[in-house]
Amino acid sequence: MERGSNQVSPRTDDEMKHELEGRLRSGRPTHVEEEHDPEPPADDDIRVDTGGPVPPPGEERERARAQEEADSLLRELARHLERTAFPADRETVLDVLRAHHAPDSVLDEAAALPDSGTYANVTEIVEALGHRPTR
């Protein structure tokens, strides 16, 4: 018999493990515990946990919009570019995008790439276009 500092019986301990199993596996609260979760922030709330001064509301929205555009471009490029295309220069990127029937907006963005330079992945392409995708 094990004599540790455990204050609960083995049966209670197993019940507690079973109750926490979903949360431990998922890394986030489960639906069963929904009433105990704090209310999530609204879309238009100003973030105050940034570690610095709180930006004006318009600045935060503009930053979020630019971030969404960068992430959207990254997703579209990743959808139409194959891994075998890398490393790629500007012309290779444009050729592969045309071959995969990428939307005109993506082709227009890729056409703005500098003539010199090669890119190892989609993130490097997005950064070369002046965007900062979420990592």
pLDDT at 77: 81
Token pair for 127: 């950064």
pLDDT (average), residues 8-14: 83
Give the list of residues 6+ apart from residue 135 with CB closer than 8 angstroms, or none.
Answer: 123
The predicted-structure confidence for 30-51, as pLDDT tens digits, reads as follows 666 666 666 777 777 766 665 6
* Banded pLDDT at 111 (limits 50, 70, 90): confident
Confidence of residue 66 (pLDDT cuts 50, 70, 90): confident
Alpha helix positions (H), the chain = 10-26, 57-80, 90-99, 104-111, 122-128
Model pTM? 0.49
pLDDT at 107 over 60: yes
Closest by Cα among 70, 114, 106, 122 to 98: 106
State the average pLDDT over residues 54-78.
75
| Mean pLDDT computed over every residue of the chain | 76
